[in-house]
């Protein structure tokens, strides 16, 4: 198991309490500390990818500055130090009836509209060609519908013509294009459906088109997984060996997936020193809360992910994560960084039932139902809204978070007298199973077959996980182990991700023993890094040997990963009460904002909550009741202006 992971920052208002991360409220005007980044050039790219912004605005989203004033989002970004905008471009993100695929319906027209607004605000544009009609990433590089039956030569010519025509159209609209990406996260899956040697023909075609349109535009190739040092450096070597004409080697970096920052700096430096190329962090982000704002489950949502990421899920944690990526890139003399989708906030707080028609109409969710059948990772169960709203730099109401100002304050520093503990250690929730995340090479406690292996590809946490795949036929596989447990009630869960299924997969966690035969709800694989939890509970009346595991039955060519087998014995959960108590104490400090009587009522409830929190034999019913009473007392606070107006 992986425990004792060191947080790079734990700010006073977001300390871990009783094993849980306390999120700062999304709309709270929180004072943050930003440490200065030394030797930072004035032309360092402080970029954001806001590809969904048009769809967001069409859905009714308004953006506000930190004081709550509604403004053009480009004004807000510029005021906070943003100087570059990135926008993805999909060839034809619509079905045959013209229904958009979602995630901004990011076609060339949207790119032009965003680019014109960026240019009007003195910003440059990075055009990110995916060469697909929808998402292109390490898990899939589906060619555009119009390119489906083309061979490599035909596809190369189509890519050249499309790139050239699109770029000419953008420039003709007066957009200040500074950089173009030829492909998006073009790792093992290649580009436009072409992997292996064939990819280089397409790379060269895209680069040629950009050079012919405007030789001053920087050409970038974008990869990811910088934690796999040898692999990512081999991509740089491949570009060099094939004499590809380009300027910028770009990588994504998300700390909850991609290892430590020192390694990122080292990779970027190596590319520059060995191949003479500029470098760029094309994508990064971090969560400021683990809450969900729109009814669509978020990609990053667990305490374990935050602990692996290295920062608490708070506004301060988000700011510090962004500051540290800027620092790591600057140490490598990189061009800069882009924060991915900081404006992808909820379209409303009314939940999935209300939001779904909005997502479907305007394309403001991560995927619409229209894309089912084109993208193999989208199905009837998982399409929907934003899965990134808790990583935005705006709160759930569209108000700018203090962390947005990190872009400008890294030059000077901000509130550097505020204290924080860089050495705070917090443990991941401990599993009763040894080697539950497969970090140890000795797997003798587990049973599995030939179609599943311990590998370093896409672990949920740490460096290793169990990867399953069979490219020759449909297959059955899984992993299981036996463990003897005393009487009690237990929770068992497993993290699972994968893709390329035909919808018939049969995947679930299970627990089997004398008088016990329980399985979780079945999991449908939803694509690369779309982790899902298979979970179940069971009760033992006496000491019993139990077999725990994950069963997989899937079609030829499907693939996936199993990680983090978490077995815990049920006890009481005080985390929500601790979170609510923290919020209540902050309200008590706001003596100038609420009436004395309502604050006195809250103070009394806080004292009762503290007693319950410290009570060793408190029942779950007592804890839940106290939490509800505390929430009621917070909601019952009477603002002073209301008191005054009622006396007029």
pLDDT, tens only, 504-546: 899 999 999 988 999 999 999 888 777 888 999 888 878 899 9
Burial (0-12, 13-18, 19+ Cβ within 10 Å), 287: buried
401-423: average pLDDT: 84
Which two three-digit tokens encode residue 393?
A: 């730099």
What pLDDT was estimated at residue 3? 26
What pLDDT was estimated at residue 151? 96
Cα dihedral 318, 321, 324, 328 sign = negative
Distance CA 25, CA 10 (A): 16
Domain 446-569 adopts which CATH fold? Jelly Rolls (2.60.120)
pLDDT tens digits, 262-289: 999 999 999 999 999 999 999 999 999 9
Least confident of 67-71, 260-264, 313-317, 644-648: 644-648
pLDDT above 90 coverage of the chain, percent: 65
Q: Where in the chain is the domain with CATH 1.20.1270.90?
A: 575-646
Q: How confident is the model at residue 451 (pLDDT cuts 50, 70, 90)?
A: very high
Q: Could you tell me if 533 and 508 are in contact, meaning their C-beta atoms sit under 8 angstroms apart? A: no
pLDDT above 70 coverage of the chain, percent: 91
153-178: average pLDDT: 98
Is the pLDDT confidence value at 338 over 90? yes
Q: Where in the chain is the domain with CATH 2.60.120.260?
A: 446-569
The residue that leads in pLDDT, 35 or 309, is 35
Residues involved in catalysis: 185, 283
| CATH 3.40.50.620 at 575-646, yes or no | no
Q: Where in the chain is the domain with CATH 3.20.20.80?
A: 43-409
* Average model confidence (pLDDT) across the chain: 88
What pLDDT was estimated at residue 9? 32
Q: How confident is the model at residue 30 (pLDDT cuts 50, 70, 90)?
A: low
pTM: 0.68
What pLDDT was estimated at residue 28? 41
Q: Could you tell me if 404 and 342 are in contact, meaning their C-beta atoms sit under 8 angstroms apart? A: yes
- The secondary structure of 414-464 as a DSSP string is BSTTS-B-TT-B-PPPPPSSTTTTS-SS--TTEEE-TTEEEESSS-SSSS-
Distance CA 549, CA 479 (A): 5
Is the pLDDT confidence value at 347 over 90? yes
What pLDDT was estimated at residue 486? 87
CATH architecture of 43-409: Alpha-Beta Barrel (3.20)
Q: How confident is the model at residue 419 (pLDDT cuts 50, 70, 90)?
A: low
What pLDDT was estimated at residue 642? 55
Distance CA 486, CA 280 (A): 53
With tokens 């290892």, the residue in question is: 259
pLDDT tens digits, 550-586: 999 999 989 999 999 999 877 656 667 777 887 788 7
Burial (0-12, 13-18, 19+ Cβ within 10 Å), 517: exposed
pLDDT tens digits, 58-115: 999 999 999 999 999 999 999 999 999 999 999 999 999 999 999 999 999 999 999 9
Is the pLDDT confidence value at 53 over 90? yes
């Amino acid at each position: 198991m992986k425990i004792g992971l060191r947080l790079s920052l734990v700010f006073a208002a977001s300390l871990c309490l009783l094993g849980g991360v306390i999120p700062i409220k999304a709309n709270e005007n929180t004072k943050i500390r930003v440490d200065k980044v030394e030797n930072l050039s004035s032309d360092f790219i402080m970029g954001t990818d806001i590809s969904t912004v048009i769809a967001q605005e069409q859905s009714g989203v308004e953006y506000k500055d930190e004081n709550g004033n509604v403004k053009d989002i480009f004004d807000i970004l510029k005021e906070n130090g943003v100087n570059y905008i990135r926008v993805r471009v999909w060839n034809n993100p619509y079905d045959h009836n013209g229904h958009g695929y979602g995630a901004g319906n990011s076609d060339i027209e949207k790119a032009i509209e965003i680019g014109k607004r960026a240019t009007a605000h003195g910003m440059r544009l990075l055009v990110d060609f995916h060469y697909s009609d929808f998402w292109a990433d390490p898990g899939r590089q589906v060619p555009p519908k119009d390119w489906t039956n083309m061979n490599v030569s035909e596809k190369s010519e189509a890519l050249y013509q499309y790139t050239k025509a699109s770029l000419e159209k953008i420039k003709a609209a007066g957009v200040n294009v500074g950089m173009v990406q030829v492909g998006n996260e073009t790792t093992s899956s290649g580009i436009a459906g072409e992997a292996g040697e064939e990819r280089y023909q397409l790379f060269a075609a895209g680069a040629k088109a950009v050079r012919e349109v405007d030789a001053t535009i920087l050409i970038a190739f974008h990869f990811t997984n910088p934690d796999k040092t040898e692999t990512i450096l081999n991509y740089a070597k491949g570009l060099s060996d094939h004499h590809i004409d380009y300027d910028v080697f770009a990588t994504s970096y998300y700390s909850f997936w991609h290892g430590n920052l020192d390694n990122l700096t080292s990779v970027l430096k190596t590319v520059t020193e060995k191949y003479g190329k500029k470098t760029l962090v094309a994508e990064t982000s971090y969560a400021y809360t683990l809450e969900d704002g729109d009814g669509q489950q978020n990609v990053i949502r667990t305490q374990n992910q935050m602990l692996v990421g290295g920062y608490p899920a708070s506004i301060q944690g988000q700011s510090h994560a962004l500051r540290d990526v800027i620092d790591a890139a600057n140490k490598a003399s990189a061009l800069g960084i882009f924060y991915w989708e900081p404006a992808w906030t909820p379209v409303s707080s009314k939940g999935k039932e209300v939001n779904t028609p909005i997502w479907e109409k305007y394309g403001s969710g991560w995927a619409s139902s229209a894309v089912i059948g084109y993208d193999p990772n989208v199905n009837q169960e998982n399409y929907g809204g934003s899965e990134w709203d808790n990583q935005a730099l705006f709160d759930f109401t569209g108000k700018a978070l203090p962390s947005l100002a990190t872009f400008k304050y890294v030059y000077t520093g901000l509130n550097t007298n505020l204290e924080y503990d860089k050495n705070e250690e917090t443990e991941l929730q401990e599993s009763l199973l040894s080697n539950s995340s497969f970090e140890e090479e000795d797997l003798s406690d587990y049973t599995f077959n030939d179609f599943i292996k311990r590998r370093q590809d896409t672990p949920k946490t740490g460096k290793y996980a169990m990867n399953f795949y069979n490219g020759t036929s449909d297959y059955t596989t899984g992993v299981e182990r036996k463990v003897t447990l005393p009487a009690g009630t237990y929770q068992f869960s497993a993290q699972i991700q994968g893709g390329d299924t035909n919808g018939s997969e049969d995947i679930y966690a299970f627990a089997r023993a004398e008088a016990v035969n329980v399985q979780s709800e079945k999991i449908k694989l939803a694509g690369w890094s779309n982790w899902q939890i298979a979970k179940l509970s069971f009760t033992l009346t006496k000491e019993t040997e139990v077999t725990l595991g994950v069963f997989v039955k899937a079609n030829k060519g499907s693939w996936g990963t199993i990680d983090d087998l978490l077995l815990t014995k049920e006890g009481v959960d005080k985390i929500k009460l601790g979170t609510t108590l923290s919020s209540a104490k902050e309200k008590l400090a706001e003596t100038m904002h609420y009436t004395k009587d309502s604050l006195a009522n809250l103070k009394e409830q806080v004292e009762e909550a503290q007693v319950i929190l410290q009570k060793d034999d408190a029942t779950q019913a007592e804890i839940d009741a106290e939490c509800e009473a505390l929430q009621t007392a917070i909601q019952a606070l009477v603002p002073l202006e209301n008191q005054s107006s009622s006396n007029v």
